[in-house]
Structure 1
Amino acid sequence: MTVRLRPDGHSGGMDACVSPAPAGARESAERERQGFTDHPPETIRIAVSRAATPRAALDEIAAGLKGMRPSFVNLLIPDRLDPDGLQTALPLALPDTLVFGCSTAGQITPKGYENDALVAIAFDRRHFRVASALFSPLAPLSIADVVARTDKLLDQFGTTPGWKRLALIFADGLSKQEDVLVAALEAGLTDIPVFGGSAGDGMRFQRTRVLRNGELVSNAALLLLVETDLEFRGLGFDHFQPTDRRMVVTEAVAEERLVLELNGAPAAVEYARLVGVSVDALSPTIFAENPVLVRNGDLYHVRAIQQNHDGHGLTFLSAIDNGLLLTLGRGKEIIRTLESGLSIRDESGGEPDFILGFDCYLRKLEIERKELAGQASDVFRTHRVIGFNTYGEQHLGVHVNQTFVGVAFFRPDRRLPL
């Protein structure tokens, strides 16, 4: 793994890249147009475009970030934009800028839930530094290689006194490798918390991509090692509780996350029976509102179902194996749990400057079916959430589904000079 610094202080190289140390002043921006209910964040700048073509969209993004030299930019890409066109236009619109990101299954903008927005989050270099590594190909995955390369990245990314670290992971959401990847990263990063989301492809489930060094890549995962002088707190929550209806996986193809039998019966048939619908009625909405849970100690994690497989099997979005005990979940009031989960404060009672959010697409499906998207968007705006809808979430070493995972960053100490 190598690090090559360019004359402007940015870095290149395919194995690792490191952003410059915080320096310089941030110019003011027209932030009132961003849509948050009180005032825009102080430590990031957000640009959003709904233009029809990649070049026009990226030109709008560049205009929105004009005058700022960020540490790095996180680009969240809607499925409607042509990836080849985006890849071609990116270096023209944002030259000499570290840009990372992924394709999505929806976006959380300063207006709330959206489906077609290109979102750029520019992280202020006074408060953020970053190093990155790309794991490609992701499948087959070598745990030893992930740990070794993570160790090298840590060695190369010099620490800043008084600053803290966290890791963000953006993984191919169709790779079926996130469970093992996140566990390996947790081992390699030791005491550094890991948060993230699996890249999406709208509702098509055909191809997902991660973005690094101007290239959109499938069958890959992007690791961002982020250093910040801001206080931050991780959060993760869902809105389900276990019922008394249980299932045992009696036949599965673990590497494909495919369950063929539950309780000795065809998986789709048995699941439909327990839910109380016909097999023909199974749909993403049914799966979203009737998830299966796996118990881990006193906690239950969602193992979301992606789709019905040939009318008999069920394809899952997380690891599954023979003998696993599953419990059918029942939802609680989703808006109330969203409001409660996002109501986070720092030690002095201060609200976050912003929350970087990774929200499962199945949560959004349920919210939209219940005609609650407007209310959810109001909650996101109030709590200053920016992020995307995922095919899976990574939270403190575990790959989960149907969960909101986030990192709340708090405002800098106002006693320090700006």
Structure 2
Amino acid sequence: MTAVDDLDRKPAEAVRIAVSRADDAAVALAEIRQQLATARPSFVLLFLPSRLQPDELANALRKSLPNTVVFGCTTAGQITSRGYEDSALLAIAFERRHFRVASTLFKPISPVSIADVVSQTERLVSQFRATPGRKRLALIFADGLSKQEDILVAALEAGLKDIPVFGGSAGDGLRFERTQVLHNGEFHSNAALLLLLETDLTFSGLGFDHFQPTEERMVVTRAVPEERLVLEINGSPAAQEYARLVKVPVAELSPAIFAENPVLVRNRNLYHVRAIQQIQGEHGLTFLSAIDDGLLLTLGRGKEIIRTLDTGLAVSDKDGKAPDFILGFDCYLRKLEIERKGLDGEASEHFRQRRVVGFSTYGEQHLGVHVNQTFVGVAFFRPEGGAPL
């Protein structure tokens, strides 16, 4: 039986963490249940490794945690109290004395109905009555293969108005076959899960990457926007032109090459990553964010990834205190780059020190924008005044 995985050094107090690495869904959930035996959660977030079958886990969930509200999604990896993992079933129990939650499921999301998303979101907000003195935020978990997150998150921002939203796109290891979200005991593809949280904890949103623009420019000259597919760059076959710019043979293009050589899109004075997922067909490139004809792209060059990770996670409240925990959504391409450079142990140590838990995503949502190759998170602090939890 797996021992309880307390967060390194000083454990978080507003959440309880449980982890199982068992191969059987029923056994894994039994271990989760035992580790959470003394927790009193408002809800539990469950992040699945690709080796576990969602349907089997859903069946076992009804028996193992019958009276617990559970949400979650499939992942491209987990961030546990050990740091980066690939095969862990991770449960985060949000204590009810600090959190309230309401939820809604958008299905189908391909194609997205902006009007429906806005009205459904506004209805959720109006029905979830505010408690004086508490703060609100939203979490979004979307089918990571839906290719609809850009529109979805923009519509959510309109419906949520001044409520900040953060989240990640569900993953499927590196298979890119089927991604799902968990709501009301069932897993759903072509869907997105919205959680509206209320808490007495102060919190701060995080969002950072480690890329800077180079002088290499390119223009999308032929695309299939609804498929996030680029067929031509600079008038040449997309994969061939990209390979020329990053100075590798087309045959050597891989997720690791894409991770270390992303393309950037400029929005005013900020650059956002438009990550490449894979080669499509003979010369096409599939992206993880919106793409269109005429879009100007800039090749990105990475800064030192561990240093930017350490800087980005070094947040504190107004009294200079570290977070109780950080809920993190980290692009799987960041993990690939870190592993390729042999830095996964060092990155995991930073996650442990900063009490980060979460998962590796197929895309991240940060304050109304869908991004890639970015760490997005929410740092939760103890209630104002530093009163014990």
TM-score interval, smaller chain: over 0.9
**Of residues 247, 250, 262 in structure 2, which corresponds to 1:279?**
250
Partners of 1:84 and 1:102 lie apart in 2 by: 12
Partners of 1:336 and 1:33 lie apart in 2 by: 30
Partners of 2:273 and 2:100 lie apart in 1 by: 33
Is 1:254 the equivalent of 2:260? no
**Of residues 161, 165, 182 in structure 2, which corresponds to 1:211?**
182
The DSSP-based 3-state class of the residue aligned with 2:41 is coil
Letter of the 2:195 counterpart: L
Partners of 1:339 and 1:308 lie apart in 2 by: 32
Letter of the 2:292 counterpart: D
Query: Aligned-residue CA RMSD in angstroms?
Result: 1.1
Taking a change above 3 Å as real, the CA distance of residues 352 and 311 of structure 1, as seen in their structure-2 partners, is: same
Counterpart position of 1:4: none
Counterpart position of 1:315: 286
Counterpart position of 1:377: 348
**Of residues 358, 361, 378 in structure 2, which corresponds to 1:407?**
378
Counterpart position of 2:32: 61
1:416: Cα distance to partner?
A: 4.7
Counterpart position of 2:117: 146
Partners of 1:35 and 1:332 lie apart in 2 by: 32
Counterpart contact for 2:4–2:35, Cα < 8 Å: no
What is the TM-score when the length of structure 2 is the normalising length? Answer: 0.98
What is the TM-score when the length of structure 1 is the normalising length? Answer: 0.91
1:405: Cα distance to partner?
A: 0.2
Counterpart position of 1:94: 65
Partners of 1:379 and 1:168 lie apart in 2 by: 24
Note the 1:25-174 alignment, pairs <5 A: 33-174=4-145
1:271: Cα distance to partner?
A: 0.3
Note the 1:260-409 alignment, pairs <5 A: 260-409=231-380
The DSSP-based 3-state class of the residue aligned with 2:293 is coil
Partners of 1:414 and 1:327 lie apart in 2 by: 46
Counterpart position of 1:184: 155
Runs of 5+ consecutive residues of structure 1 not aligned to the other structure = 1-31
Partners of 1:252 and 1:239 lie apart in 2 by: 27
Taking a change above 3 Å as real, the CA distance of residues 82 and 137 of structure 1, as seen in their structure-2 partners, is: same
Partners of 1:380 and 1:170 lie apart in 2 by: 21
Partners of 1:395 and 1:194 lie apart in 2 by: 7
Letter of the 2:248 counterpart: V
The DSSP-based 3-state class of the residue aligned with 1:34 is coil
Partners of 1:93 and 1:64 lie apart in 2 by: 12
Letter of the 1:347 counterpart: K
Which range moves more in the overlay, 305-314 or 329-338?
305-314
1:140: Cα distance to partner?
A: 1.6
1:417: Cα distance to partner?
A: 6.9
Partners of 1:414 and 1:108 lie apart in 2 by: 30
Is 1:243 the equivalent of 2:214? yes
1:413: Cα distance to partner?
A: 4.6
Runs of 4+ in structure 1 over 6 Å off:
none
Counterpart contact for 2:82–2:348, Cα < 8 Å: yes
Residue by residue over 1:221-259, the C-alpha shift from the partner in whole angstroms, topping out at 9 and shown as x without a partner, is: 000001111000001000000000010000000000000
Letter of the 1:184 counterpart: A
Letter of the 2:53 counterpart: D
Partners of 1:70 and 1:33 lie apart in 2 by: 16
Counterpart contact for 2:274–2:288, Cα < 8 Å: yes
Aligned length: 387
Partners of 1:188 and 1:417 lie apart in 2 by: 35
Residue by residue over 1:289-340, the C-alpha shift from the partner in whole angstroms, topping out at 9 and shown as x without a partner, is: 0000000011100000000112311000000000100000000100000000
Partners of 2:159 and 2:6 lie apart in 1 by: 39
